[in-house]
Amino acid sequence: MKRMIILMLAAALFASSLGASKAFAAVPAHYYFGFDESVKPWTSASINGRVNKGTLTLGVEESSARLKPGIGNKYAVLANEYGSVVWMKSTFVTTGRNVKVEFLAKDIEGCEGCIAIVYVGRNSPQYPGEFKTTYNGLGETWGYEGLDFTLDSNYLKGEGIGNNMVVAIGFTTLEGDGYCPDQRRIAIDNLHITVSDNVDN
């Protein structure tokens, strides 16, 4: 049974034998979320701030849990209960610049043809225009989503909040502003985030 794993490999430092100069090299940082037990550390957000406990929940594939209720593949469920664009987000601390976000997604309720949207930045996103998408329409079966991002290197010169990285994943439609009064829900699973090393030469 898969369980949520957050694996971050430690930075490896090396210096020249003469000590005249030093270079910093960090192996890639890998984060994995299987959502087996909870959706933590992810929290919900929306374009207008209207979310509740039903916006981001833990779901389970009932087809694999008929004989043993509660046992089966679990995943994160995002619901636009107020009709607005919604997303889940989490904050990481990293000195890398190159970020790849990969996951599986599918329609659960009323969202066939919706598109997944992904954001990576230093601050929390405020509106859908800040997100990127593959424009792959979601269907009833799991589909792969993968996007690459490059963080602003100026922030890497600071400490603490300056090295924050916010990742957000949500969904919208291609109809108008994406607003829909009917509830729509999607599933997200097997989320991988890879942050590559940044070396200033």
Q: Which helix (H) or strand (E) holds 32?
A: strand 29-33
Q: What's the rounded Cα separation, in Å, for the pair 46 and 121? A: 16
Q: Which pLDDT score, from 0 to 100, does residue 32 have?
A: 97
Instruction: With residue 43 as reference, give the H or E element that holds it.
Output: strand 43-46
What pLDDT is stored for residue 105 in this prediction? 97
pLDDT given at position 95 = 81
The pLDDT value given to residue 40:
96
Using omega within 30 degrees of 0 as the cis cutoff, is the peptide bond preceding 41 cis? Answer: yes
Check: CB of residue 87 under 8 Å from CB of residue 105: no
- List the structure tokens of 31: 């984060």
Residues 6+ apart with CB under 8 A from 46: 55, 80, 82, 84, 85, 86, 87
- Taking alpha carbons only, the member of 68, 39, 64, 71 closest to residue 54 is 39
- What is the model's pTM? 0.79
d(CA 162, CA 93): 9
Each residue's pLDDT, cut to its tens digit, for the chain (201 residues) gives: 343 333 333 333 233 333 323 334 457 899 999 999 999 999 999 988 889 999 999 999 876 545 566 578 999 999 987 778 999 999 999 888 899 999 999 999 998 889 999 999 989 999 889 999 999 999 999 999 999 999 986 555 554 456 889 999 999 987 644 455 578 999 999 999 999 975 443
The answer regarding whether domain 12-196 maps to CATH 2.60.120.260 reads yes
What was the pLDDT predicted at 23?
Answer: 37
